[in-house]
Structure 1
Amino acid sequence: MTTLDEALGRCPAIAIIRARSSDRVPAVVETLAEAGLTAVELTLTTPGALDAITALAGSLPAGIALGAGTVLDAAGATDAYRAGASFLITPAVLPAVLDQAGDLGVPVVCGALTPTEIIAAHTGGAHLVKVFPADAMGGPAYLRAVRGPLPDIPLVPTGGVAVDRAADYLRAGARAVALGGPLIGDAADDDGDLTALARRARELIDRLTELIHA
């Protein structure tokens, strides 16, 4: 199974799928993979998420890392890991999740916002620290300011990150970016537009690739 680090080494972006149903999740993941995205998070707030993760884990395209998001407690961490998630994402600093993930040997992208929370997440064992909600705090400028005194903590901004601003976060020092609604749009709905999703995903890849190879 592809690790998160391997996936982000090829494309520094995590696609966040949060949907009213898991029925369309396989089609969304396939569309993202075909466009070149290599890391996908399915939030546990999506009905049927654990079953969807189990099904996807056995049929993922090569090179894709699949994670579970909105993991709120130790039981959720265990369930997601057993379902087949190769990484976990939390919305906040949750020591119980960090401790359980450490016991399971699964990396956590731990949510935080302030410098105090970011340090707590990092010292608590987070593999990466998710800066959330990044856009509400000033976007790339906030990330750049935080990285001044904390240059060695790998940050992944999410929350309102637009496709056309994703590269700005990398320029500000982000290890990767994570995009939900601005990338997925309505694609996870029953009649959602997968063609538009593919177009947005390719645009994201193009913008990030152009920066990486600049």
Structure 2
Amino acid sequence: MLEQALAQNGLIAILRGLRPQEAAAVGEVLYAAGFRVIEVPLNSPEPYESIRILRNSLPADCLIGAGTVLTPEQVAQVKEAGGQLIVMPHSDVRVLRAAKAAGLLLAPGVATPTEAFAALAEGADVLKLFPAEQMGPAVVKAWLAVLPAGTLLVPVGGITPENMQSFFDAGARGFGLGSGLFKPGLSAEQVAANAKAYVAAWQALR
């Protein structure tokens, strides 16, 4: 399901700082713009409530997940809230195994080929290349030359509509979007405008 969602639109919305009272409105404008994967980092205010609201208010073809998941206990709470995807800044094997045991989709953060291969061996569905601004497109190209064919490598960190092309040319087929898309204090209308700019850039890549 994650592969299908990213094939339709390879942009993952990272809503760090989202509050429950704005979750439905922000989710709706992102869905309308074409986003099909939305992540609420757990260091946001009342993240499980926001996940619950997004899951209940958006169509079934939109995947709702949690980011900055650090413990197996948090995995269980994400599932209880209706989350379907676990996104991590790292590759703690305890969290990887908890996510797979819970039947959730998994996108761990990797910064070396060793971490990438180890995460795939534990069942990672997507690899989050983090921080992308530090790694660059050359790393994407080099890794994809040795990782199993079909591996989805998603750069996260510092992704803008302007720099997506260089990562895409290197083989990236998805992107995680943070403060360039959403940050606390933005209205749903401002998020919608940012979303449209990213989607236009994504469609231009194809």
Confirm or deny: 8 A CA contact 1:164 1:204 kept in the other structure.
no
CA distance in 1: counterparts of 2:152 and 2:123, whole angstroms: 12
CA deviation map 1:7-29 (0-9, x unaligned): 21210110100006333222221
The equivalent residue for 1:37 is 35
> Where does 1:159-178 land on structure 2 (aligned, <5 Å)?
159-178=157-176
Whether 1:54 and 2:48 are equivalent positions in the alignment is no
Shift of 1:178: 0.6
Shift of 1:116: 1.1
CA deviation map 1:132-174 (0-9, x unaligned): 001112x222211222222523211101111222233222111
Match of 1:19, SS state, is coil
Which segment drifts farther, 45-54 or 20-29? 20-29
The equivalent residue for 2:144 is 147
The equivalent residue for 2:24 is 26
Confirm or deny: 8 A CA contact 2:99 2:106 kept in the other structure.
yes
Whether 1:200 and 2:194 are equivalent positions in the alignment is yes
- TM-score between both structures, scaled by the size of structure 2: 0.92
The equivalent residue for 1:129 is 127
Identity of aligned residues (%): 34
Which segment drifts farther, 94-103 or 193-202? 193-202
CA distance in 2: counterparts of 1:99 and 1:57, whole angstroms: 23
Partner AA of 1:156 in structure 2: V
Which segment drifts farther, 104-113 or 150-159? 150-159
Structure 1 residues 120 and 14 mapped into 2: Cα distance closer, same or farther (>3 Å)?
same
CA distance in 2: counterparts of 1:10 and 1:20, whole angstroms: 25
CA distance in 2: counterparts of 1:10 and 1:96, whole angstroms: 31
Shift of 1:6: 2.6
Confirm or deny: 8 A CA contact 2:126 2:154 kept in the other structure.
yes
Shift of 1:129: 0.7
Confirm or deny: 8 A CA contact 1:163 1:183 kept in the other structure.
no
Shift of 1:91: 0.6
Stretches of structure 1 lacking an aligned partner (at least 5 in a row): none
Match of 1:58, SS state, is helix
CA distance in 1: counterparts of 2:48 and 2:18, whole angstroms: 14
Confirm or deny: 8 A CA contact 2:160 2:198 kept in the other structure.
no
CA distance in 2: counterparts of 1:11 and 1:168, whole angstroms: 18
CA distance in 2: counterparts of 1:69 and 1:151, whole angstroms: 25
Query: Root-mean-square deviation (CA), in Å?
Result: 1.7
> Where does 1:63-142 land on structure 2 (aligned, <5 Å)?
63-137=61-135, 139-142=136-139
Match of 2:39, SS state, is strand
CA distance in 2: counterparts of 1:174 and 1:75, whole angstroms: 31
Confirm or deny: 8 A CA contact 1:88 1:107 kept in the other structure.
yes
CA distance in 1: counterparts of 2:42 and 2:166, whole angstroms: 29
Structure 1 residues 20 and 208 mapped into 2: Cα distance closer, same or farther (>3 Å)?
closer
CA distance in 2: counterparts of 1:151 and 1:5, whole angstroms: 15
Length, aligned pairs only:
205
The equivalent residue for 1:182 is 180
CA distance in 2: counterparts of 1:23 and 1:159, whole angstroms: 26
